[in-house]
Chains A and B, each alone.
Chain A
């Protein structure tokens, strides 16, 4: 009995020795986590890299619902050597947690979450230079953040990578790019049947008519990258806990609240408000992105109020230029940050 009691005490005590990742100051090799809790959602922010640079690149991931873990690999390796990169999981995404919070799932709420995350970074790291690194849906979220109130004064720059700052425009241009490309590829007898199928569907369906159609057009847009010979990344990136990802993905794409949220996004766009943004902007776009076509980036360039705005086309890329033109993307980001930090 003595031994049994001792064994229980030892095993319980051992588990309490697990260390908490407290903030211990700035570091060139930081790897720490903090959380932001806001209106029912607890969102992790993993900070990796060189916090002593006093520059933080805040990842605003796509999806919605994808999680930021997917950016913790080679896509940001060089960035993490020079600067700190903050991997924020948006509400109901990645490893974000909470109880019954689906009623708060909306773009305005996510914009408010981003406001709190930026404030928390400012407090925790004593006023670092923050650059937003937005991809895909993150382009809509970050545009909504930047045009609101005086939010843009809290950040030094906007890095928009294939960002969908206007969903109706994105859907329209995606369909147009698919139709135009399908016709030229059919003429070349390249993936003839596949392109003909896409052409027939896009000619007879308007993605603005319903969420179902826009989802189907997006599926074809991803397939089109493959038909155009764009390298596809089939490696499976798992979050720290894949079950978090699984639960959040299900909620986002299969619950009625999640689908309502996705449908609400179909109507949202900030093209007519981009003039409010004076923050320096770097737009990086995959030349063969059918999901958020380069023409969406050109629309942003035409409407942004920033004195400095630059758009770079990545020649080997589709929707994920950080994967397929990694060096080019990182070089452009580093030059941009060095100019405006």
Chain B
């Protein structure tokens, strides 16, 4: 049994080892327009900063492919408008992983946690202790939010330094506590991203050779 597993590995002709180093990875600014089903629309802007990178290199006969996973933290702020209901402002912070097989296209999977504040449309009335009705200004509610998103991002720059990207990002998020429960949302975001600069991140490179 002791030799069975190494033997099986040898049968697969795989050798893997890792190497730690540092590399420069881009800080991305992004601005997106948002359509939140149904009938809400808005915009948000933010930044994502990588802090760790994993590079997987596969060598197969004469070919070599490289997959890069950049882990990043992000922060965004935005506003959302729902006609005949409210306008909301929010701030989210989160973490994610960016998967890239080449410099022209990559994907992002991210999780964010945030705070959302609504401001109701029109006047808001409240009864006072004396029974009179008072109009409140800028009244709304504060909610926590949690979101999961998956973005597809393409380079639109033709120069060697890929500075501009477009992105499409479906997102599922929940708002809570909403009437003692939670309110689900489904949104589609589309916009641009800009390669602001590079930061030095810790990189772990994994090599896989297959003959």
Least CB distance, A3 to chain B, in whole angstroms: 8
Interface segment, one of B17-25, B145-153, B172-180: B172-180
Contact of B82 among A4, A8, A122, A240 (CB under 8 A): A240
A15-B81, A38-B127, A250-B181 known; A98 and B141 CB under 8 Å? yes
Known: A33-B85, A247-B184. A15 touches B123 (CB 8 A): no
Q: Could you say which residues of chain B place their CB within 8 Å of the CB of A12? A: 43, 45, 79
- The residues of B that contact A34 with a CB separation of less than 8 Å are 122-125
Contact partner of B177 (CB less than 8 A), chosen from A8, A23, A99, is A99
Q: State whether A11 touches B43 (Cβ < 8 A).
A: yes
Give the Cβ gap from A225 to chain B, nearest Cβ, in Å: 30
With a cutoff of 8 Å between Cβ atoms, the chain A residues found around residue B104 in the complex are none
* Chain B residue at smallest Cβ distance from A244: B183
Interface pair A243/B180, CB less than 8 Å apart:
no
Question: Do B127 and A247 touch (CB < 8 A)?
Answer: no
Q: How far is the CA of A333 from the CA of B180 in the complex (A)?
A: 37
Select A102's contact among B79, B83, B179, B196, beta carbons within 8 Å: B179
B contact residues around A208 at 8 Å (CB): none
Question: What is the chain A residue whose CB lies nearest that of B178?
Answer: A247
Q: Are B184 and A35 in contact (CB under 8 A)?
A: no
A21 with B84: CB separation less than 8 A: yes
Count the A residues whose beta carbon is within 8 Å of the partner chain — how many? 55
A246 within 8 A of B: yes
The size bracket of the interface on B is 35 or more
Q: B87 at the A/B interface (Cβ < 8 Å)?
A: yes
- The answer to whether the Cβ of A1 comes within 8 Å of any Cβ in the partner chain is yes
**Number of A-B residue pairs with CB-CB distance less than 8 Å in the complex they form:** 155
Q: Cβ of B40 < 8 Å from any Cβ of A?
A: yes
- For the complex, is A16 an interface residue (Cβ under 8 Å from B)? yes
A33 CA to B194 CA in the complex, in Å? 40
> In the docked arrangement, what's the CA distance between A109 and B164, Å?
55
Ordered by A's residue number, 14 sampled pairs between the chains whose C-beta atoms are within 8 Å are A15-B42, A16-B79, A18-B83, A21-B84, A34-B123, A35-B139, A36-B125, A44-B85, A100-B180, A116-B133, A123-B125, A240-B38, A240-B84, A241-B39
Using known A-B contacts A15-B42, A240-B84, A247-B184, determine if residue A35 contacts B124 with beta carbons closer than 8 Å: yes
Contacts of B91 in A (CB 8 A): none
Return chain B residues, CB-CB under 8 Å to A91: 179
B136 at the interface (CB under 8 A from A): yes
Q: Are A11 and B45 in contact (CB under 8 A)?
A: yes
- Measuring CB to CB, which residues of chain B are less than 8 angstroms from any residue of chain A? 29, 31, 33, 37-40, 42-43, 45, 79-87, 118, 120-127, 131, 133, 136, 139, 141-143, 177-186, 191-192, 194, 196
Option from A7, A20, A247 in Cβ contact (under 8 Å) with B31: A7
**With A4-B29, A99-B142 given, can you name 13 additional A-B contacts, CB distance below 8 Å?**
A4-B192, A18-B83, A21-B121, A33-B85, A34-B125, A37-B126, A91-B179, A97-B86, A98-B180, A99-B141, A241-B38, A242-B38, A243-B37
Q: Which residues of B contact A115 (CB under 8 A)?
A: 127
Establish whether residues A1 and B196, one from each chain, have CB atoms under 8 Å apart when the complex forms: yes
Asked if A120 is an interface residue, CB under 8 A from chain B, the answer is: yes
Bound Cα distance A91, B194 (Å)? 45
Q: A257 to chain B: which residues have CB within 8 Å?
A: 180
What's the least CB distance linking A92 to chain B, in Å?
5
Docked-complex contact A32 and B181, CB < 8 angstroms = no
A267 interface residue (CB < 8 Å to B): no
Closest to A97 in B: B141
A128 vs B19: C-alpha distance when bound (angstroms): 78
